[in-house]
Amino acid sequence: MKIFELHFNPIAKERLLKKGQLADLIFDSFCYEPQNIYEKRLGYLFLTGELKNPLPQNFNFLENLANFLKKEYYTSPIKLSPENAFKEVLKKANNYLEKIVKEGDVSWLGNFNSAILSFKNFDLNFSKIGNIKILLLRQGQLMDIGKNLELEELEPYPLKVFGKIVSGRLAENDIVLVLSKEVFEFFQVKNLFKKLSQTFPLNQKDLHKVAEKKLKEFLKINEKDFSKISGFCLICLLTKEEAFKEKSKSFAFRKKPERFSFKKALLPFFDSLKKLGYFLFKLLLKIKEFFQKVIKKLSILFWFIAKKSEKKENLEKVEKKVIKIPVKEKKPEKKTISIFKIKQKITFPKIVFNEIFKKNFILILIFVFLLLFGFFIFKKQEKEKIKESQLIINSVKQEILSVDNFLALGDEKKAFEILENAREKVIVLINQKDKNQKEASQLKDSIEEKLKTISKLEEIAEPELFLEIEKNDFIPQKIIAFKNNLYLFNQFSENVLKINDKKEKNILTINQQFNDAILFNDYLLFFKKPNQIFFLKNDQFEKDIFLEQPFPDFDFKNFSSFKSNIYFLDKSGEIVKYSNFSNPQKWLLPQTKKESEAKFLTVDGNIWILNNDNSISRYFGGELKETINLNLFPSPKNFKKILAIGGYLYILEPAEKRIILINQNGKLIKQIFSQKFNNLLDFAISENGKIFWLLNGNIIYQISR
């Protein structure tokens, strides 16, 4: 993801505080990137906001709120999904702001505009308060995706600032813009949105690599205009990132206690000795250098003394004027003396150095001994680890052999459990990176092949291409099959794209947005929050119906139909049944526990609920009858959608690029996987259940069961 924060003419809070001045407006944006393996489960978190007419004590209002949100959002990254973590952080944000009000500071009420967003891969959740604008720029088209979040009056007790949440799945190279009101209106008047979309050309490969350069050019061209406004614009360019590889649950949360290790126990001691030895070595070098400098200076001094003595002796010989018999000259004894003195200067430090070395010899010897001792302990520990890992490998091989016996008896569940446990063991060995790493890696590949076989994983290298939709024609997010036609739509558009069996396209205009659509007898039924429905029959849209609200806080998640009844899933986990579009009733019995983390609902006589932990609950007669947990490889990460048709359940999982087919007893029929399924958005199934279509970005693949 590429993130650009544009702040137009901000006022420095430090200057305001120093001079005691008041400001008409302060604004800021805060972008938090996950810092570790756990935080990456929740993705990015953003807060943008502006505060009008702030008092001096509120100059850090936005910063304090942002820091609080960051801390709370990443508090439980393992337990919560990104969507649920986002819901929780909004609740805590409301409590935080309510506390400020109770403490007597109400100056910000009515002056505060803000938006909070979270991104995990291509999944977006956001909420806003006030006149902040949240836009989606996709393939040159600009959509106001925050339009449905209307400003509500604040109730002081209990205070509810951030209320509704919008969730959706985006695509690669989508651009999300978050703008303050003044910046948004300025962009509109100056027609800058069109120029901005041209800044990110549709046909540009590796757009994220050139985005910064293009944006700088855009800002430079319009520099004079931007000097006239004050506000912010946050730009989020969604780029395709490598899937983050998480460790398996068992390895991360059920790790066995480590055995006692001499190597680890003595490691601090060895480090101390190593530092001591290094210190002594440096000290000896410094002593040696010191004596070498002293010797050099003394040598020069003695050389000058010797020269001076020689000159004096020659002068005395001249003054005596004595005639001597010529004899062979001998070298002056003075030279010998000077040389001797020089030798003394050289040898003296050596003697001192040797004495120093002898005094520290025992310490150095002890240090070397300890190093050797530690080395041998380490080697011994290494051999023990290799021996232990070899025993584990032999044990895993025996476990794999036993799998064939369970498969012969038809006990696939037990065989799967054994293989999963064996895989966890060899993954630990691979991470140890010892002599047996290669063998463990080969064993892991062998186990995974068996798991794929048991999990009935069918890989399709080249799935059949049904149709590729031109990006300029329509941007689909959902797909429905109805009477040999496919209908595609998105919740931000007022159009529906119809594709017949001859692959002919036709755009139907309905002049209003809607949230979801389902099949209902001979109609396509569309629903718009909070309670409006309308129908499509023979490509004609019929009149609206406004449903009676079942209870005040009813909040639609998704819905399904069976015969003449419609079933709605509420955010609380409650299921509401409408008969002939009237008489709403809570379908679950009072004693039945409600799944507040439920994600999706489908009905075929039974009601099937897809839960947040990827389990599937079957309800009948208002009661929970069973919960199905699927043994699959790869392990489920995030099931997105479930449909019940013809006695089978179809489950979509974009994270693992697959669609899963099971029967009503939870028995796995098959998984269909392809590397081409790299941006799965939705799927549709024919009435006989023999063909299904996968919407992958702007491409539709057709699969025969």
Residue 156 and residue 98: Cα distance in Å, rounded?
8
pLDDT in tens, 88-109: 888 888 888 888 887 877 778 7
Which of helix, strand or coil describes residue 509?
Answer: strand
Which of helix, strand or coil describes residue 201?
Answer: coil
Q: What is the pLDDT of residue 267?
A: 56
More confident residue, 660 or 354: 660
Q: What is the pLDDT of residue 374?
A: 66
pLDDT above 50 for 142: yes
**What is the mean predicted confidence (pLDDT) over 247-262?**
37
pLDDT above 90 for 428: no
**What is the mean predicted confidence (pLDDT) over 480-499?**
87
Q: What is the pLDDT of residue 462?
A: 92
Task: Calculate the CA dihedral of residues 226, 227, 229, 232 and round it to 10 degrees.
Answer: 60
Cβ neighbours around 274 below 10 Å, total: 14
pLDDT category of residue 359 using cuts at 50, 70 and 90:
low
Q: What is the pLDDT of residue 541?
A: 81
- DSSP strand E in 222-356: where? 231-237
Structure token digits, residue 582: 């009237």
Structure token digits, residue 469: 């939709």
Q: What is the pLDDT of residue 320?
A: 46
pLDDT above 50 for 443: yes
**What is the mean predicted confidence (pLDDT) over 565-574?**
90
Residue 199 and residue 213: Cα distance in Å, rounded?
9
Domains contained in the chain, CATH given: 2-244 (3.60.40.10), 261-322+331-454 (no CATH), 461-704 (2.120.10.30)
pLDDT category of residue 411 using cuts at 50, 70 and 90:
confident
With a pLDDT cut of 70, the percent of the chain lying above it is 74
pLDDT category of residue 358 using cuts at 50, 70 and 90:
low
pLDDT category of residue 149 using cuts at 50, 70 and 90:
low
pLDDT in tens, 190-233: 888 888 887 776 555 566 667 778 888 888 888 888 888 889 99
Lowest-pLDDT range, 77-86, 181-190, 409-418, 573-582? 77-86
Q: What is the pLDDT of residue 364?
A: 63
Q: Could you give the C-alpha distances from 336 to 77, 317, 333, 345, in angstroms and in order? A: 85, 19, 5, 14
More confident residue, 199 or 176: 176
More confident residue, 81 or 451: 451
280: burial class by Cβ within 10 Å (0-12, 13-18, 19+)? middle
What does pTM read for this prediction? 0.55
More confident residue, 172 or 607: 607
pLDDT above 80 for 262: no
The chain-wide mean pLDDT, for the chain, equals 78
With a pLDDT cut of 90, the percent of the chain lying above it is 22
pLDDT in tens, 537-567: 888 887 788 888 888 878 888 899 998 899 9
Asked if residues 231 and 6 have their Cβ atoms less than 8 Å apart, the reply is no
Cβ neighbours around 201 below 10 Å, total: 12
Q: What is the pLDDT of residue 160?
A: 58
Residue 58 and residue 182: Cα distance in Å, rounded?
21
pLDDT category of residue 459 using cuts at 50, 70 and 90:
very high
Q: What is the pLDDT of residue 404?
A: 80
